[in-house]
Amino acid sequence: MEKFGNIKDTFNKIIFESVINKDEKSKKIFSKYVKKLNENENLTNQFLIYKNLQHKTFETIDEAKEYVKENISLLKELNESDLKSGNEYLQQLLENKEIVKTNDSFYSMVEYLVKTKKSPSNIEKINETINTISSNMLVKEEVEETKFDTVGLPLSVLSDLAVNKFNTKFSDLNESEKDIIKTLLNGSDDDKLNIYKKLKSECIESVNEKLTETTDLDLKDKLLKVKDKILNMAFDTHNSKEDIIKLHQLKNSF
């Protein structure tokens, strides 16, 4: 069976891509995932503990290590049989979706601490694993605001959209797209800034529309995070062409 962390990350990818592609089937799958988490106390606690271990930060290593140990203890207290059946159900919901394994090494460390009984022969490895997880809690995430991935959306999806759209014949483009291309090719920095601001504003309007349309609280939370990151994007002349194209694709994806 796949690790819960990888399953969780795959569902996170599904909800972002479903918003971009307007994929109602994927949205329903994600809703079933959230419903199952809410209905099962062990799954809920498992989700919260993983969230603790991935997002909590500390100023000292000692604080972090103690926090890791406490959360691992909480994981060990959860009903193993209930978790197994619950995680199997979540994995079945994914059907043939490709499992996201970006954080697989981290989840392997968590599972090792949960499943390994402490002994003289493995105490050193257990301590090293705790130290590794704890050290990551001291590292602050760096965000490059001029990069489009700060919007929190999968670049693989957006790059496909960009290629498909801007590889069409110029005559097939609408007036807005023609203006964008003309500005990118011959416009001044001020012209590019104006296009950038206009697209950024339109993206925010599109997100706001989605926020009013949906009743899914979890989806609303995701959209609010996307909106916040769009608002925090900064214009950079060195990346203006890439950012303008990507903002245009984001606007059209809603």
- For residues 125 and 249, membership in a common domain is answered with no
Q: Are residues 170 and 240 in the same domain?
A: yes
Shared domain for 11 and 93, answered yes or no, is yes
CB contact set of 72 (below 8 Å; sequence gap of 6+): 110, 113, 114, 130
**pLDDT for the residue 112:** 96
d(CA 236, CA 3): 40
What's the confidence (pLDDT) of residue 172? 58
Does the residue 142 lie in any domain? no
147 confidence band (pLDDT: 50, 70, 90): very low
pLDDT above 50: residue 217: yes
CA-based torsion, 55, 56, 62, 67: positive or negative: negative
Answer yes or no: do 186 and 220 share one domain.
yes
Q: What mean pLDDT is predicted for residues 134-154?
A: 55
State the pTM of this model: 0.57
User: Which pair of tokens denotes residue 7?
Assistant: 């399953």
Residues 127 and 157 in one domain: no
In a domain, 157, yes or no: yes
- Of 136, 160, 195, the residue at which a domain comes to its end is 136
pLDDT tens track for 228-254: 778 888 888 877 878 888 788 778 777
Q: In terms of residue numbers, what domain contains 68?
A: 4-136
Residue where a domain stops, chosen among 115, 136, 157: 136
Average pLDDT value over all residues in the chain: 82
DSSP H/E element including 146: none
Say if residue 75 is in the same domain as residue 152: no
Split into its structural domains, the chain has a count of 2
Interval 33-57 mean pLDDT: 92
Q: Which of 101, 136, 171 is the last residue of a domain?
A: 136
Q: How far apart are CA 172 and CA 219, in angstroms?
A: 34
